[in-house]
Amino acid sequence: MDAIQQKVTLPPGPKPLPVLGNNHSFVRDPLDFLQTLHQTYGPLATIYMSDTPSVVLFEPEHIHYVLTENPRNFTSAEFAQNLQEFTGHGLFNLDGDTHRQQRRLVQPAFHRKRVESYADTMRQYTLELLDTWKAGEQIALDQELQQLTMRTVAKCLFNIDLGLRNSNLGQAFADIRENQPKLLEMILKLRINLPFTDYGKRQRGKRIIDEVIYRLIAQRRIEGKDEGDFLSMLLATTEDDQALSDTQIRDHIMTFVAAGHETATNTLSWAIYLLAQNDSEYEKLYLELQSQLHGQPPTLADLAKIPYTEWAINETLRLYPPAYLIGRRARAEFTLDNYTFPAKTNVLISKWVLHRRPDLWEAADEFQPERWRPENAKNIVPWSYIPFGAGPRICIGMPFAQLEMRMLLATILQRFKFRIVPGFKMQTDAVITLRIKNGLQVILEPAP
């Protein structure tokens, strides 16, 4: 109750219920809740996650303050405790010096030259998947893309080929994603490990993935060969002269596979959805591919010739940012806009609202890749677009993701056009990342 009484010093917000705080409204429809908060309370709003005050930020300069001006005051690990169940002490759950040190350690895997060397795998795996699709058939596009992005990240970073159909692992990730804690589990912090509980289902998913990862680590330790990949880097690393333990390596792998496939799958699914809804933008993109690539899958060098593809991806990330919310917890008191926030305040940064603010974006809800044409992009308000975050925790996989999304989209769209099944009503599903509810069913057509 103490925390609730402090509200007088905080920005206004909806009335919290005892115990629940505003959790119920948030869980019911997070995106609508965030929009309504901004419309009702303006630049800052206070909500309560159970009894912890959480300030929701919608202003570019406030977001800049938290992510880059004063990031040391805002921890991620404490905020991301629900992720810890799954990613252990991977980057999401580290802070301060340990975070900096571990991030520096894995950074070489994402240097430009190294990332560019992944382009051939990205193209080859996409072509292999496309060979299994037939014009006229209906597919669950997001599931197909999930298999592709998981296979790609596993091969590029860990040099293992999961094969075209890695449904076991795909299902295990789905078990975790689809059984996130419901209100009761959140409030009561209930963790009952039975086959039918959400927690039990998440644990089952985790067990399956762990088995694969630990087997991979053991095999590599036995082989003792430097494969020159991310995993070899982790195996060769020492921390204060101690090699990383299997658990530390497992946590890094889990973090990178989870962060690296789900976000890219969502973006590509949303991009194809948006292109299927916007004929003239689709035409422009397809014309660019035809005129520049002449029916051939892109090489790394080709990517510079297809800027519209990149703009379409930027625009997709604006409208449907997969990581739609960034969370932090304040270590010490801080001040914003004449409000003083106590230590332990949660900070929520809503990209969903920021990226669609009508005062920051013209025709904010429209899919307009042209706004990313360099002469137009220079008018974009600084800090109004942060799909990959910013500051010391900016997405480490950004160069990988940017390459992958262009390679995959350009390869796919040269072979197929997508028609959304009749009667489909798009609904968003904002749980950990922003997805299309119940997936995207499409009918394949040959590219024109």
| Residues flagged as binding site for heme | 395
Question: Alpha helices of 320-427 — where are they, by DSSP H?
Answer: 351-354, 374-377, 398-415
Closest CB 91 distance from ligand HEM, rounded Å: 4
Closest CB 321 distance from ligand HEM, rounded Å: 6
Distance between CA 320 and CA 438 in Å, rounded? 16
Q: Say if CB 354 and CB 63 are below 8 A apart.
A: yes
Site for ligand HEM in 259-278 (CB under 6 A): 259-260, 263-264, 267
Closest CB 109 distance from ligand HEM, rounded Å: 8
For 194, the token pair is 């039975």
* C-beta closer to ligand HEM: residue 117 or 291: 117
Give the phi and the psi of residue 417 in degrees, each rounded to 5. Answer: -115, 155
* C-beta closer to ligand HEM: residue 38 or 393: 393
282 binds ligand HEM (CB under 6 A): no
Closest CB 183 distance from ligand HEM, rounded Å: 24
Site string for ligand HEM, 18-47 (x = CB under 6 A): ------------------------------
Stretch of 41-49, 241-249, 279-287, 381-389 lying at the interface with ligand HEM (CB under 6 A): 381-389
Distance between CA 31 and CA 17 in Å, rounded? 20
Amino acid letter, residue 134: K
* C-beta closer to ligand HEM: residue 14 or 389: 389
Site for ligand HEM in 143-172 (CB under 6 A): 153
Q: Say if CB 51 and CB 3 are below 8 A apart.
A: yes
Q: Strand 441-446 and strand 416-420: pairing?
A: antiparallel
Closest CB 255 distance from ligand HEM, rounded Å: 5
* C-beta closer to ligand HEM: residue 355 or 393: 393
Which residues are documented as binding site? 395
Give me the residue label for tokens 């895997």.
109
Find, among 96, 4, 100, 105, the residue nearest to 53 by Cα: 4
The Cβ of residue 202 has, within 10 Å, a number of other Cβ atoms equal to: 22
Near ligand HEM by CB under 6 A: residue from 7, 64, 103, 415 = 103
* C-beta closer to ligand HEM: residue 289 or 386: 386
Find, among 384, 190, 369, the residue nearest to 286 by Cα: 369
Task: Count the site residues for ligand HEM by CB under 6 A.
Answer: 24
Site for ligand HEM in 239-258 (CB under 6 A): 255-256
Site for ligand HEM in 72-101 (CB under 6 A): 76, 91-92
Closest CB 247 distance from ligand HEM, rounded Å: 17
Distance between CA 95 and CA 367 in Å, rounded? 37
Give me the residue label for tokens 């690296």.
260
Question: How many residues appear in the chain?
Answer: 448
- Residue with CB nearest ligand HEM? 397
The Cβ of residue 369 has, within 10 Å, a number of other Cβ atoms equal to: 24
* C-beta closer to ligand HEM: residue 20 or 34: 34
Site string for ligand HEM, 384-423 (x = CB under 6 A): ---xxx---x-xxx--xx----------------------
* C-beta closer to ligand HEM: residue 7 or 114: 114
Closest CB 400 distance from ligand HEM, rounded Å: 5
Find, among 6, 60, 20, the residue nearest to 333 by Cα: 6
The Cβ of residue 371 has, within 10 Å, a number of other Cβ atoms equal to: 18
For 291, the token pair is 């005129």
DSSP tag of 432 = S
Distance between CA 373 and CA 316 in Å, rounded? 14
Which chain residues interact with ligand HEM by CB under 6 A?
76, 91-92, 103, 153, 255-256, 259-260, 263-264, 267, 322-323, 326, 387-389, 393, 395-397, 400-401
